[in-house]
Amino acid sequence: MENLKKELKEKIIENLNLEDIEVADIGDDDVLFGDGLGLDSIDALELIVMLDKDYGIKLTDPKEGKSIFQSINTMAKYISENKN
Amino acid sequence: MNKGVAITGMGIISSIGNTLEENFQSLIDKKPGISKIKKIDTIHKDVIKVGEVDIDNAALIQFLNLPESNNYSRTALLAEIAAKEAVKNAKIKDINQYKTGLISATSVGGMDKTEKYYYSYFEENKNRKYIDAHSLGDATSKIASSLGITDFVTTISTACSSATNAIMLGARMIKSGKLDRVIVGGADCLSKFTINGFKTLMILSETDCKPFDENRTGLNLGEAAAFLVLESDSVVARENKEVLAYISGYANANDAFHQTASSENGEGATLAMKKALDIANLSPNDIDYINAHGTATPNNDSSESKAILRVFENNMPSFSSTKGYTGHTLAAAGAIEAVYSILALQNDMVFPNLNFNTPISETKLIPETEVLKKNINHVLSNSFGFGGNCSTLIFSKKY
Amino acid sequence: MKNYYINGIGCISAQDTSKENFSFDNCNELKNNIVAAFKPNYRSYIKPALIRRMSNGVKMGVVASSIALNEANIVEPKSIITGSGMGCLKDSEKFLENIINNDEQYLTPTSFIQSTHNTVGAQIALGLSCKSYNVTYVHSATSFESSLIDAMITIDESTQPVLVGGVDEIGPHTTALHKLVNHVKKENDFEKGILNTYSKGAVFSEGAQFFVLESDKNNNAYAQLVDVTIFDNLKVNEVEIKAQQFLKDNKLQVNDIDIIILGNNGDIDFDIYYDELQANVFKDTQQLYYKHLTGEYNTVSAFGLWTACKLMKSQETPEVLKLNDKNLTSINYILLYNQYQGKSHSFILLKKC
């Protein structure tokens, strides 16, 4: 699980072009959207594609993303439960 | 009321008709033009529905009598057909008799060709003539050349509000005396680029779109072109022209909220509608019909509903979105919906909002779902685009 | 009709034009056929959280507009009008390449959203929370002039200040396509300067130039914008007639013009439009050019205007810009003429203020 969390942080930094952020800067429980890391709805769509491409999980309703992408912890939990 | 700028001609081609007459007939017959995509090979073809013009490029080229050496994109073909119909409809004999301009709008331009030959351009010479057709101004220049317009030619691109802004600029240029006559409108064809673009935003519906419905799931893309001919009062008088309607109000405001989503309370939309009423010197209760932007995305219809309520409060006029017929034709939307607004004025009818069952729970607005005959003096038409671009036009009956 | 004063200007180009102590004397002629813009320190203008999604075109536009607004001492303009011939090309190319290379799968929205031509104007508005009139013109090499014409009408309608500008960026694939059809100079190294290449094509480059227009001049005012006109197509022998008519419409004659700034770009097929004016009706006028410093892109005529503003204020004529040498006692009127590939012709007239 720890490896997955690290991997997710790396992917977020890369896919979303967060140039100034390091893996160590993102806490496992940090709020990713809104006031936390400051991600928005376009980033959510990017993460949905990442879920499909890298983990084989397809989300058909973008609104599902809200709870899944709350933090690294929630993302890692969802992926390990649903990964294909 | 501010009298406004005279409209003396219109032309249109869309998935519900190749001419003005055919479009009108489809509107009153409640015959939509939404189907599975036929002319573009995309992996999404079984999961999207579109408003596709039912003529292939070869037939469009033949209709326009273009030489084989032509490098028209599909956008340019559709645009020229509609522009020529508008000029004919306005009974213009000598285009250069008065200072005449052309203001067109597009978001796709020649992308239909670029995406087809993107890599093969390097392998063979055959299609390189289309390289210059990519740019958004190309179709406009071609139409200007075909029609012989030399005085003022330009192109606007503000996503889905493009044609509305083109019409607005045209009206302002007539009002300011810079032009005596101007042909204004827009065109966009379907392309893999836009289909995939909207797919990534997860706002395409797999079924026929349901504007203003609680259970709407997204839009259907469409392709179309439409143009209006605007003429100054002195040209109208001198040529004894029949005026179809007047553009009495127009406005452009920016939501400045997010690149693709509209603000929850529809700030930009509210500002645009209020300003257009201001320019027209009309109050909300003067408006008889709103032809809404109504794309059937969760975000737009919610935001637009709230904006309409903010502006109209207790004076809700009849309203509908005609995108259930044509799909969302992007840059052309403002122009085809201008034509439909003028048809509404001329025929005293509101065109139905197709596929509606349940009002949005938050706002409870109910659009017209049948052709409604009623006295219509003023129509308000909205077009909102990515980048926060919100534009509104008000059309008024000739008197 | 009101007066239109240019009270603030900002420029990003192949030269280091965004720095405060910019001087034409320090400019170097471009020596390669494709030249990127000189990048300022974007982070000193834009928050990192926002930069991450911005394309080159958007960054250049945001910075150039920011400089212009600062100069004019304006926080929020009442109108934002942008010209861009090709839009944000890199993002267009990226999105399209992903579509083709991945068979339409695993596509992400960012580059699609960023590719639209109106994204620069939209991002500027977003950054300023500016809810006013916002429009983008995309008519090839008269995109910028179309924006100026709308700006003038907007001021006539009592809406101001107006932020107006032009932006175009290099897209590698698009440039490669234009090379195929001889729009780009084949040589990638020309020591003798672009006007001495005697070959087809131009140097391709990129840039952003923005201006603040108001109906009253402030302490910083550069010049008065008198008039702008555009033509889609002109024959070589028609340009002189149109130039004279344009001046006549503004109650001027050729000998009222102190400087004519021309868009010579070294393309042997099309510089003839400038040659005609230089040899005939404007032969006694001080002639200047700038594309040897900036290269060619659809909105590069905005750089011409930026240059004209600088010269009007300084009342100097830098050697590096000269096509001929006339003794000027003062600069009162500057005329600009540009065209691209025999199409998209424009005239701009400036007056000292």
Q: Report the CATH number that the domain containing residue A53 is assigned in CATH.
A: 1.10.1200
Answer whether B138 touches C (CB < 8 Å): yes
Task: Read off the tokens for A83.
Answer: 């990964």
pLDDT digits (tens, 9 = 90+) for C303-346: 999 999 999 999 999 999 999 999 999 999 999 999 999 999 99
- What does the alpha-carbon distance between residue B326 and residue B27 come to, in Å, rounded to a whole number? 10
C221 in a domain, yes or no? Answer: no
Please indicate whether, in this complex, the C-beta atoms of B137 and C138 are within 8 angstroms of each other.
Answer: yes
Answer whether C50 touches A (CB < 8 Å): no
Q: What residues in chain B have per-residue pLDDT under 50?
A: none
pLDDT digits (tens, 9 = 90+) for B218-244: 999 999 999 999 999 999 999 999 999
A22 in a domain, yes or no? Answer: no
Chain B hits for C89, CB-CB cut-off 8 Å, are: none
The reply to whether B132 and B162 lie within a common domain is yes
The reply to whether C102 and C243 lie within a common domain is no
What separation, in Å, do the N-terminal and C-terminal C-alpha atoms of chain B show? 12
Locate all alpha helices (DSSP H) within B203-314, ordered by sequence: 233-239, 267-280, 298-312
Subunits in contact with chain A (3 or more CB pairs closer than 8 Å): B, C
Residue with the bigger pLDDT between A61 and C269: it is C269
The reply to whether C135 and C201 lie within a common domain is yes
Pairing of strands B5-13, B224-231: antiparallel
Please indicate whether, in this complex, the C-beta atoms of C52 and A19 are within 8 angstroms of each other.
Answer: yes
The verdict on whether B134 is a catalytic residue reads: no
Nearest CB partner across the interface for C108, out of A19, A38, A49: A49
Name the minimum distance, in Å, from the CA of C288 to any CA of chain B. Answer: 27
Closest CA to C256 of C347, C315, C330: C330
ipTM of model over 0.85: yes
User: What is the CATH classification number for the domain harbouring C289?
Assistant: 3.40.47.10
DSSP state of C267: B
Continuous segment of H or E residues that includes residue B381: strand B378-385
- What does the alpha-carbon distance between residue B379 and residue B286 come to, in Å, rounded to a whole number? 9
Subunits in contact with chain C (3 or more CB pairs closer than 8 Å): A, B
At residue C228, φ and ψ (nearest 5 deg) are -140, 140
- What does the alpha-carbon distance between residue B162 and residue B120 come to, in Å, rounded to a whole number? 31
What length does chain A have? 84
The reply to whether C165 and C116 lie within a common domain is yes
A25 in a domain, yes or no? Answer: no
The verdict on whether B328 is a catalytic residue reads: yes
The reply to whether C170 and C308 lie within a common domain is no
At residue C214, φ and ψ (nearest 5 deg) are -140, 160
Rounded to the nearest integer, the mean pLDDT of chain A is: 89
SS3 C223: strand
Domain boundary among C184, C214, C244: C214
Give A21: exposed, middle or buried? Use CB within 10 Å, 0-12, 13-18, 19+.
middle
Interface probe, candidates B48, B199, B202, B207, chain A, greatest A C-beta count within 10 A: B202
The reply to whether C171 and C232 lie within a common domain is no
Chain B hits for C133, CB-CB cut-off 8 Å, are: 252-254
Q: Lowest mean pLDDT of B129-143, B305-319, C45-59, C246-260, name the range.
A: C45-59
- What does the alpha-carbon distance between residue A11 and residue A32 come to, in Å, rounded to a whole number? 13
Please indicate whether, in this complex, the C-beta atoms of A46 and C106 are within 8 angstroms of each other.
Answer: no
At residue C100, does pLDDT exceed 90?
yes
The reply to whether C264 and C203 lie within a common domain is no
Name the minimum distance, in Å, from the CA of A9 to any CA of chain B. Answer: 22
Chain B hits for A45, CB-CB cut-off 8 Å, are: 200-202
Q: What residues 30-69 of chain A have any CB closer than 8 A to a CB of chain C?
A: 38, 42, 45-46, 49, 52-53
Name the minimum distance, in Å, from the CA of C290 to any CA of chain B. Answer: 24
The reply to whether B199 and B266 lie within a common domain is no
Domain boundary among B239, B266, B284: B239
Subunits in contact with chain B (3 or more CB pairs closer than 8 Å): A, C
Closest CA to C145 of C207, C91, C81: C81
Locate all alpha helices (DSSP H) within B30-99, ordered by sequence: 57-63, 74-89
Interface probe, candidates C50, C108, C110, C116, chain A, greatest A C-beta count within 10 A: C108
pLDDT digits (tens, 9 = 90+) for C198-236: 899 999 999 999 999 999 999 999 999 999 999 999 999
Catalytic residue among B189, B209, B328, B378: B328
User: What is the CATH classification number for the domain harbouring B378?
Assistant: 3.40.47.10
Residue with the bigger pLDDT between A34 and B162: it is B162
- What does the alpha-carbon distance between residue B329 and residue B186 come to, in Å, rounded to a whole number? 10
Domain of residue B138 covers: 5-239
The reply to whether C171 and C230 lie within a common domain is no
The reply to whether B234 and B254 lie within a common domain is no
Closest CA to B299 of B217, B196, B208, B191: B217
A21 in a domain, yes or no? Answer: no
The reply to whether C191 and C78 lie within a common domain is yes
The reply to whether B47 and B165 lie within a common domain is yes
Please indicate whether, in this complex, the C-beta atoms of B137 and C140 are within 8 angstroms of each other.
Answer: yes
pLDDT of residue B2: 65
> Total domain count for chain B?
2
Answer whether A80 touches B (CB < 8 Å): no
pLDDT of residue A61: 79
C122 in a domain, yes or no? Answer: yes
> Total domain count for chain C?
2
Chain C hits for A45, CB-CB cut-off 8 Å, are: 108-109
Domain boundary among C193, C214, C235: C214
The reply to whether B162 and B59 lie within a common domain is yes
At residue C131, does pLDDT exceed 90?
yes
The reply to whether B24 and B129 lie within a common domain is yes
Name the minimum distance, in Å, from the CA of B206 to any CA of chain A. Answer: 12
- What does the alpha-carbon distance between residue B97 and residue C179 come to, in Å, rounded to a whole number? 41
Q: How confident is the model at residue A84 (pLDDT cuts 50, 70, 90)?
A: low
Domain of residue A59 covers: 2-16+30-82
The reply to whether C273 and C338 lie within a common domain is yes
Nearest CB partner across the interface for C96, out of B106, B193, B388: B193
C219 in a domain, yes or no? Answer: no
Please indicate whether, in this complex, the C-beta atoms of B258 and A48 are within 8 angstroms of each other.
Answer: no
The reply to whether C181 and C282 lie within a common domain is no
- DSSP characters for C290-351? -HHHH-B-TTTHHHHHHHHHHHHHHT---GGGBSS----S---EEEEEEEETTEEEEEEEEE
Q: What residues 192-221 of chain B have any CB closer than 8 A to a CB of chain A?
A: 200-202
Please indicate whether, in this complex, the C-beta atoms of B260 and A45 are within 8 angstroms of each other.
Answer: no
At residue A30, does pLDDT exceed 60?
yes
pLDDT of residue B83: 98
- What does the alpha-carbon distance between residue B304 and residue B365 come to, in Å, rounded to a whole number? 11
Alpha carbon of residue C202 to chain centroid: 16
Name the minimum distance, in Å, from the CA of A4 to any CA of chain C. Answer: 21
Question: Does pTM surpass 0.90?
Answer: yes
pLDDT digits (tens, 9 = 90+) for B349-367: 999 999 999 999 999 999 9
| Strand boundaries in C13-83, DSSP class E | 79-83
Please indicate whether, in this complex, the C-beta atoms of B259 and A42 are within 8 angstroms of each other.
Answer: yes
The reply to whether B369 and B233 lie within a common domain is no
C102 in a domain, yes or no? Answer: yes
pLDDT of residue C262: 98
Q: Let me know: does B182 contact B230? Beta carbons within 8 Å.
A: yes
> Total domain count for chain A?
1
The reply to whether B228 and B254 lie within a common domain is no
What is the C-alpha radius of gyration for chain B, rounded to an integer number of angstroms? 20
The reply to whether B278 and B224 lie within a common domain is no
Q: What residues 159-188 of chain C have any CB closer than 8 A to a CB of chain B?
A: 173-174, 176-178, 180-181
Domain of residue C307 covers: 226-351
At residue A12, does pLDDT exceed 90?
yes
Q: What residues 147-166 of chain B have any CB closer than 8 A to a CB of chain C?
A: 149-150, 152-159, 165
- What does the alpha-carbon distance between residue C4 and residue C295 come to, in Å, rounded to a whole number? 28
Please indicate whether, in this complex, the C-beta atoms of C181 and B131 are within 8 angstroms of each other.
Answer: yes
Nearest CB partner across the interface for B197, out of C112, C137, C178: C112
Residue C161, preceding peptide bond in cis (omega within 30° of 0): yes
Please indicate whether, in this complex, the C-beta atoms of B387 and C122 are within 8 angstroms of each other.
Answer: yes
Sign of the four-CA dihedral C197, C201, C204, C208: positive
pLDDT of residue B259: 80
